Amino acid sequence: MTPDSQDRSHCANSDALAATFSASYAGVVAFIAVATEGSFARAGDRLGVGRSAVSRSVQKLESQLGTRLFLRTTRHTTLTREGELFYRNCHPGVERIVQALEDMRDLREGPPRGQLRISAMGGFGRRIVAPLLNGFRARYPEIAVDLMLDDRPTDFSADRIDVAFRDGHLGDSQVIAKQLIPMPMLVCASPAYRQARGLPRQVEDLPEHSCVNFRTASGRISEWEFKVDGRVQKFQPSSTCTFNDDELVLQAVLDGHGIAQMPGYQVSEHLRAGRLVACLAQYAPNDRGHYLCYLSRLQLPARIRVFIDYMTTAVRALDLECATGLAPVPPAISREPRQTSAAGRG
């Protein structure tokens, strides 16, 4: 047999298999409907097709099996012995298919339930997301939550992430990014540090101070960012302490070991309580914004939709935009339109 004839034979076999499977599947569905309803007409009503279409599907199935499945009279339709055996073997599989379809419909339209996989950056996840999960779980007890703290860029597909919390917009154009709150970056110190060392009045003063740095998940030291004379200026001070955890950076500043540039949500409570003071507000960079990210607005399962709605409301109610202790921003900067940076920490 030549390669061409082999290819033609393979295609013919494939087409025959496809046709056989299609006919068999339609026939089995029609057969189960007739056996359950006890009538070709009622089976047609249940399947949304005519009685004749159901009859043709069953006849094709009987031809494939080489046996009669029903005894038909003008008044009754009953299973043959072979039909009873076939029904017992097919029914569990069809029931599982029907149940699978109903489960998918419930996930979309029914009470929210199922597994929800969430990713958040370490500091935001510990300080903001994790505490709010108690209220969410109380409201939606049938949703199981899996929270991953990870400062690396989110790979929704590889990590099977449903929702991610991130600073700034993600690079993936398919990702929907919904801003939850502003995220200003603030240079802060403890009152004890201010009393002992004073505070920088301009960016050029930073080398004279003890600085606490943050090491990102990629291993690099996060640069401090400012806006000087309308231009972005990045600065990486020499540090007395460097940590790869936001909370350790914060604790070092609270303990008076130095100053650090930190996100507003992390320091707002301490600024209000007077445990921290802020400086260099006149050089504050553009607001990065903190975002809730997911893959699509279309066909979102109920568990994802209710989580997005709940967290949006809950996070915005936390009053994380505290500006206590900040010096007035010069008019030239305050009039400038605020933009969202596409870059985020980590």
Q: Which domains does the chain have, with CATH numbers?
A: 3-109 (1.10.10.10), 115-181+293-316 (3.40.190.10), 185-289+319-334 (3.40.190.290)
Q: What is the pLDDT of residue 35?
A: 87
Of 23-27, 73-77, 101-105, the range with the lowest mean pLDDT is 101-105
Structure tokens at 320: 């994380």
Question: Is the pLDDT at 293 greater than 60, yes or no?
Answer: yes
Q: What is the pLDDT of residue 96?
A: 78
Q: What is the pLDDT of residue 344?
A: 40
Of 8-22, 85-99, 149-163, the range with the lowest mean pLDDT is 8-22
**pTM of the entire structure?**
0.61
- Per-residue pLDDT reduced to its tens digit, 27-46: 888 888 888 888 898 888 88
**pLDDT band at residue 72, thresholds of 50, 70 and 90?**
confident
Q: What is the pLDDT of residue 334?
A: 30
- Per-residue pLDDT reduced to its tens digit, 317-332: 887 765 544 544 333 3
Mean pLDDT computed over every residue of the chain: 81
Question: Is the pLDDT at 342 greater than 50, yes or no?
Answer: no
Compare 76 and 61 and report the one with higher pLDDT: 61
